[in-house]
C-alpha cells in the first residue's frame, strides 16, 4: 500500500484529498507558488496528526503543514508532498476568564477566537487583515504580528504553552498555563516562527487581555513621518501606553484604495501626503465612562492631544470616529492593504522593519535605488508605523525572475544597512531564503541547521523553507 492508502483509514477516506479536490492547496494566496501536492490530509485530532507523521517519517514522505493559507512567502508550497491541513482541528478546548487564558487547537480561525474572548468580556489582541481565514497554528508558526503589536506584542508574546507533534510522531506537551516557568529551555519559542519546519503545532495556551471599554479612533494627517512619530510618543505618554494601533497610509495608498473600492471615501476634505490611523483603547472605567455631557474621557484626551499638535503644525487635519460604523470604515481602509497590493502584473512585496528613527531614511534610500535599476518602476506601501514595520511593494516594468530578485535584494539590503530586518511578521518561507543567507549571522544559521537536524533528521517537515541549506 502507498502512504496515501495507509493514511486514509486513520483519518477517514473523506479527509484525504487528491487531484481536483486538492486544487485549493496547490497554489498560495499570491498565486506566485503553484504545485500539486501528493495529497491533502485533514486529521481531526492530535493523535491522528501523530499517526500521520509516523507513517510519513517511516516512508520518508515530506509533509507541509497548512492552516488558513493566507501566507505571502510560499511557506505552504508542497509539490509532491503531503499537505497536512489542520482545518478540522478547530475546537476551543477551554476558555478561562478568571486566569484570562484560552486553550485552542491549531485550526481555530482568528476571528472565531476573537468572538470567544468577546463573549466573556475579554480580548485576544492579535489581529490583522486575514483574521477571517487565518488560523492559530499558522499565526504562531509565522510569529504573526498585525496592528496591535505596538501594545500587546506579536504572536510569541500571546502564547503561554504549546502542543507540538514532532517529525517522528511523538507528541511534545508544553501546554503550560503558567506565566512563570523557569524549568529549563523555553522550548515553545523554538516552534513559534519556525513555519512547521521543526514540528507541527496542534494546540496552544493563549493569553487574553481586558477588552477596551471605549476606543478613540481617528484618521490624522501629518506633515512628515517624524511628525507622526512625535505624535505617537505624545499619545503613548498621555494615555499610559494605551495606543493599540498606529497605521501609516501615504497618499498613494489612499488613492489606490479609492480606485479599487468605488464606495470608499477620502479620509479628509483635502488630500494629504502623510496619513495615519490611530486607535487608543481604554480599559479603566474612569477613562471609558461618559461624563454628564456625554463626553468619553479617552476620546476627549485624544482630541486634546491632536488639538495641541494642530496648534504647532505637527497635525494638519484630524477626523475622530463618532460611531462604530465610522470606526469600522477607518479600519476597513487599512485592512484592504493585501487586496490592493497584488493588483498589478509585476510586483515585489516585502515585509521589512527598521528602527523608528530610520523610517524616513529607508523610504528615501530605497526609492533612489529603485530608480537606478528601473527608472519607470513605481512603489506602494503601508506601515505599522509604531513598531517600524513597513510593507513596501515595488512595481517594476518587467517581470523576469532576475530583475525581481534584484529589486527584492535592494529592499532587503537597504533595510539591513539601516539596522533593520528583511522579515518583520510574514516569516521566511521560500521567498526570503536568499535574504537569510545574505544577512543572517552565519553562526545563527549553523545553530538553526543543528536544531533542524536534531528535531527532523530526515528533513521531512516543510523542506526547503525557513533555513537555507549549507552551500545554498
Q: pLDDT tens digits, residue range 341-352? A: 888 899 999 999
Q: Which are the contacts of 285, defined by CB distance < 8 A and separation ≥ 6?
A: 213
The CATH code belonging to domain 214-337 is: 3.30.70.2190
Q: CA angle, 60 as apex, 58 and 66 as ends, to 5°?
A: 105
Q: Averaged over 174-200, what is the pLDDT?
A: 96
Give the pLDDT score at 72. Answer: 77
Confidence of residue 179 (pLDDT cuts 50, 70, 90): very high
Contact between 171 and 163 under an 8 Å Cβ cutoff? The reply is yes
Q: Averaged over 376-403, what is the pLDDT?
A: 95
Q: Is 56 exposed, middle or buried (0-12, 13-18, 19+ CB in 10 A)?
A: buried
pTM above 0.95, yes or no: no
CATH topology of domain 92-210: 3.30.465
| Pairing, β 171-174 against β 200-207 | unpaired
SS3 424: coil
CATH topology of domain 3-85: 3.30.43
Distance (Å, whole) CA 248 – CA 242: 18
Give the pLDDT score at 440. Answer: 97
The closest alpha carbon to 359, from 324, 388, 387, belongs to: 388
Q: Which H/E stretch holds residue 245?
A: strand 243-250
User: Cell numbers 492547496 label which residue?
Assistant: 25
- Please report, for the chain, the start and end positions of each structural domain, with discontinuous segments joined by +: 3-85, 92-210, 214-337, 344-439
The pLDDT tens digits for 304-338 are: 999 999 999 999 999 999 999 999 999 999 999 98
CATH class of the 344-439 domain in this structure: alpha beta
Cα–Cα distances in Å, from 469 out to 61, 78, 197, 386? 19, 18, 13, 34
Indicate if the pLDDT at residue 31 is higher than 80.
no
Indicate if the pLDDT at residue 118 is higher than 70.
yes
Give the pLDDT score at 389. Answer: 96
> Is the torsion defined by CA of 41, 44, 49, 52 positive or negative?
negative
Give the pLDDT score at 472. Answer: 61
DSSP bridge pairs for 317: 221
Mean pLDDT of the chain: 95
Give the pLDDT score at 228. Answer: 98
Q: Averaged over 294-301, what is the pLDDT?
A: 95
Indicate if the pLDDT at residue 471 is higher than 80.
no
Cell output for 451: 536544531
Phi first, then psi: what are they for 201, rounded to 5°? -70, 125
Indicate if the pLDDT at residue 29 is higher than 90.
no
Same fold, 92-210 and 344-439: no
The pLDDT tens digits for 46-97 are: 999 999 999 999 999 999 999 888 887 888 998 999 999 999 999 999 999 9
Amino acid at each position: 500500500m502507498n502512504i496515501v492508502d495507509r493514511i486514509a483509514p486513520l483519518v477517514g477516506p473523506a479527509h484525504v484529498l487528491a487531484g481536483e479536490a486538492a486544487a485549493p492547496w496547490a497554489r498560495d494566496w499570491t498565486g506566485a507558488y503553484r504545485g500539486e501536492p501528493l495529497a491533502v490530509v485533514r486529521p481531526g485530532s492530535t493523535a491522528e496528526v501523530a499517526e500521520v507523521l509516523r507513517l510519513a517519517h517511516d516512508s520518508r514522505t515530506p509533509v507541509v503543514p497548512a492552516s488558513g493559507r493566507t501566507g505571502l512567502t510560499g511557506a505552504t508550497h508542497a509539490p509532491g508532498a503531503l499537505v497536512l491541513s489542520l482545518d478540522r482541528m478547530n475546537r476551543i478546548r477551554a476558555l478561562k476568564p478568571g486566569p484570562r487564558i484560552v486553550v485552542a487547537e491549531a485550526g481555530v480561525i482568528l476571528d472565531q477566537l476573537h468572538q470567544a474572548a468577546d463573549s466573556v468580556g475579554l480580548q485576544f489582541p492579535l489581529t490583522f487583515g486575514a483574521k477571517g481565514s487565518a488560523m492559530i497554528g499558522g499565526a504562531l508558526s509565522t510569529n504573526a504580528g498585525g496592528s496591535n503589536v505596538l501594545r500587546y506584542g506579536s504572536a510569541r508574546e500571546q502564547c503561554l504553552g504549546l502542543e507540538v507533534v514532532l517529525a517522528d510522531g511523538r507528541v511534545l506537551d508544553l501546554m503550560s498555563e503558567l506565566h512563570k516557568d523557569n524549568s529549563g529551555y523555553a522550548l515553545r519559542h523554538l516552534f513559534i516562527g519556525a513555519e512547521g519546519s521543526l514540528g507541527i503545532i496542534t494546540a496552544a495556551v493563549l493569553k487574553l487581555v481586558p477588552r477596551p471599554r471605549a476606543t478613540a479612533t481617528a484618521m490624522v494627517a501629518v506633515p512628515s513621518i517624524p511628525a507622526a512619530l512625535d505624535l505617537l510618543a505624545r499619545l503613548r505618554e498621555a494615555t499610559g501606553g494605551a495606543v493599540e494601533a498606529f497605521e501609516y497610509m501615504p497618499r498613494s495608498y489612499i488613492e489606490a484604495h479609492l480606485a479599487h473600492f468605488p464606495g470608499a471615501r477620502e479620509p479628509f476634505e483635502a488630500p494629504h501626503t502623510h496619513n495615519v490611523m490611530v486607535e487608543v483603547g481604554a480599559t479603566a472605567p474612569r477613562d471609558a465612562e461618559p461624563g454628564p455631557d456625554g463626553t468619553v474621557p479617552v476620546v476627549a484626551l485624544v482630541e486634546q492631544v491632536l488639538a495641541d499638535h494642530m496648534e504647532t503644525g505637527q497635525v494638519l487635519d484630524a477626523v475622530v470616529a463618532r460611531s462604530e460604523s465610522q470606526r469600522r470604515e477607518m479600519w476597513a481602509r487599512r485592512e484592504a492593504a493585501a487586496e490592493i497590493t497584488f493588483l498589478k502584473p509585476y510586483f515585489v512585496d516585502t515585509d521589512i522593519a527598521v528602527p523608528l528613527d530610520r523610517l524616513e531614511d529607508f523610504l528615501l534610500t530605497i526609492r533612489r535605488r529603485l530608480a537606478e535599476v528601473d527608472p519607470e518602476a513605481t512603489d506602494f506601501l503601508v506601515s505599522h508605523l509604531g513598531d517600524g514595520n513597513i510593507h513596501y511593494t515595488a512595481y517594476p516594468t518587467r517581470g523576469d525572475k532576475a530583475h525581481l530578485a534584484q529589486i527584492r535584494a535592494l529592499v532587503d539590503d537597504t533595510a539591513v544597512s539601516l539596522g533593520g530586518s528583511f522579515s518583520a511578521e510574514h516569516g521566511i518561507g521560500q521567498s526570503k531564503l536568499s535574504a537569510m543567507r545574505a544577512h543572517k549571522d552565519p553562526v545563527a544559521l549553523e545553530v538553526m541547521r543543528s536544531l533542524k537536524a536534531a528535531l527532523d533528521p530526515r528533513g521531512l517537515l516543510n523542506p526547503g523553507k525557513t533555513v537555507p541549506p549549507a552551500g545554498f
